[in-house]
Structure 1
Amino acid sequence: MKLTYLDSNSWLIELDGKRILLDPWLVGELIFGNQAWLFRGKKNNPQPIPENIDIILLSQGLEDHAHPPTLKKLNKDIPVVASPNGAKVATELGYNTVTSLDHMESFKLGDQVEIKAVPGSPIGPTLVENGYIIKGLESGKNIYYEPHGYHSDNLKEATPIDVIITPLINLKLPLLGAVIKGQKAALEVCKWLKPQVIISTAAGGDIDFQGLIISLLKADGTVAEFNHLLQENDLSTKAIDPQSGETIELALV
């Protein structure tokens, strides 16, 4: 299993011979609703677009997961699997093969990989987007991904999970509370799933962020502190803080 960190929530997952591009933001700036004064992200050293992608996987329909400039740039013949909101974005941008997954539905990528949607992040009062369990059908190794740190009780039935990709740092807004749930939520899901490795996402990468939201956000916790939490709770899981563009090759047991 190889995992390449492409900044923010973006990953290239190589599992059982398949290459999965997850929540890609690879070109241009990240702006929500054309409101640059509110939030604006710019990559300092953009990563190249990976080649030979077998599938694009989108957990949400928001710009930091279904990034329109990136999706416009990618080949529209690449199949897309997405949450219903992510599928809508991909369809509107002209992708030829789009599969929408509701919670607990699955998609098979050939005979090599199975992708199962699980409840993920709440977006607004009624919408819950997707997390994913990605399983290699030949190796039997699996990954659980949730980009905002919202972990459904349904996951307890999925144990054990080999690798978790989720936030390890809290990001909070005044009055609203956590927009990214890190340390406590990540520790709880490690207790449930007993992963060999947990890898931080969402808050990392070589990116310059500006705007009103950034000025109000408060970060809490570090990956090093989380490793101490794991040890204090007698968990053998190893926490990794990925670096921009780094490929992590995991030798899983």
Structure 2
Amino acid sequence: MDNSWFLELDGLKLLIDPWLEGVEVDFFSWFNTQWHRTSPLPYDQLPDYNAVLITQKYPDHFHKVTLKKLQPKLVIGPSSIKKEIKKVLPETEFIGMDKKNSIVSVLDIDFHFLPTRRLIDPIYDGFVLSSKNESIYLLTHGFELDQEHSTALKIVPECTLLFTPFNLYKLPFFLGGVVSPGIKSVENLCQKLSPKVVVPTHDEDKYAKGIVSKFAKIEWSAKKEDLIKYPWLENRYQAFPDYKLKKIS
């Protein structure tokens, strides 16, 4: 599926990257326009939530039309979206995260910001949520964890849940290069984090038009029966075919 999620961790109820209607447009419609092939959850079926987390600055994560309709009281996200958040949601409290403000706490859940080492766009950072006993990694475009990341995360409990894409999605370098690094990245993350559960995210086969879709090279994730043959994945893999609320066990 794509990257809209609802998570409940201890007392925190969190809506992540909500995109519940319409299209997402990168820069111009002729450049890249995408829309869901699988129907999102209707607004009236959303559970109550305390906050919204925006994991990336791009419109398939930071979907302004959806946010305007939701009018959340609190949004957490990369500091780079602060000005746009204030335009879209002038009454909403915003907590911006970056290298300098890398840990914040909301309802006793710590949010950890993981900066990528990439210096030019597209930049895909990561987030980790942690309670006293567990942690959830939100690596929505994959991630390369280095020693500095690992050192900073020593304070974080064991990884119980990892969200990361399984598809390999690659563009020419002049359009951004690798967008999602594919199954090898999943394996590397599993080896470093030893998550109890791994959930594919940001892998929906969306409708698309524009220059980006014409240049994109996609290696779709293998089917479940093939994925669970990997010894590092067989007991961890859980995938979801739609946006209906389900329990991750």
TM-score by length of structure 2 reads 0.83
List gaps (5 residues or longer) in structure 1. 1-6
Matched, 1:184 2:184: yes
Please give the alpha-carbon distance, in whole angstroms, between the structure 2 residues aligned to 1:202 and 1:16: 25
Q: Aligned ranges for residues 186-205 of structure 1 at < 5 Å?
A: 186-204=186-204
Could you tell me how far 1:95 is from its partner in structure 2?
4.0
State the match for 1:102 in structure 2: 98
Query: Which amino acid in the other structure matches residue 15 of structure 1?
Result: L
Structure ranking higher in strand proportion: 1
State the match for 2:56 in structure 1: 60
Moved more, 153-162 or 21-30: 153-162
Please give the alpha-carbon distance, in whole angstroms, between the structure 2 residues aligned to 1:41 and 1:126: 20
Please give the alpha-carbon distance, in whole angstroms, between the structure 2 residues aligned to 1:20 and 1:39: 29
TM-score by length of structure 1 reads 0.82
Q: 3-state DSSP class of the match of 1:199?
A: strand
Query: Which amino acid in the other structure matches residue 219 of structure 1?
Result: I
Query: Which amino acid in the other structure matches residue 89 of structure 1?
Result: E
Percent same amino acid among aligned pairs? 23
- In the TM superposition, what whole-angstrom CA distance separates every residue of 1:57-93 from its partner, at most 9, and x where no partner exists? 11222111111111211124x1111111133321221
In structure 2, relative to structure 1, the CA distance for the partners of 1:121 and 1:210 (3 Å cut) is farther
State the match for 1:12 in structure 2: 6
Q: 3-state DSSP class of the match of 1:215?
A: helix
Please give the alpha-carbon distance, in whole angstroms, between the structure 1 residues aligned to 2:78 and 2:21: 22
Q: Aligned ranges for residues 195-234 of structure 1 at < 5 Å?
A: 195-204=195-204, 207-223=206-222, 224=224, 225-229=226-230, 231=231, 234=232
List gaps (5 residues or longer) in structure 2. none
State the match for 2:68 in structure 1: 72
**Does the 8 A contact of 2:169 with 2:181 survive in 1?**
yes
State the match for 1:4 in structure 2: none
Q: 3-state DSSP class of the match of 1:85?
A: helix
State the match for 1:170 in structure 2: 168
Please give the alpha-carbon distance, in whole angstroms, between the structure 2 residues aligned to 1:10 and 1:192: 25
Could you tell me how far 1:174 is from its partner in structure 2?
3.9
In structure 2, relative to structure 1, the CA distance for the partners of 1:198 and 1:121 (3 Å cut) is farther
Please give the alpha-carbon distance, in whole angstroms, between the structure 1 residues aligned to 2:91 and 2:139: 24
- In the TM superposition, what whole-angstrom CA distance separates every residue of 1:91-135 from its partner, at most 9, and x where no partner exists? 221143111111372121123x2211112484x627745311112
Instruction: Name the count of aligned residue pairs.
Output: 235
**Does the 8 A contact of 1:183 with 1:221 survive in 2?**
no
**Does the 8 A contact of 2:41 with 2:244 survive in 1?**
no
Please give the alpha-carbon distance, in whole angstroms, between the structure 2 residues aligned to 1:32 and 1:193: 32
State the match for 2:115 in structure 1: 119
**Does the 8 A contact of 1:142 with 1:161 survive in 2?**
yes
**Does the 8 A contact of 1:169 with 1:182 survive in 2?**
yes
- In the TM superposition, what whole-angstrom CA distance separates every residue of 1:125-167 from its partner, at most 9, and x where no partner exists? 2774531111234xx2221011111233144343731111011
State the match for 1:3 in structure 2: none
Please give the alpha-carbon distance, in whole angstroms, between the structure 1 residues aligned to 2:188 and 2:24: 31
RMSD: 2.5
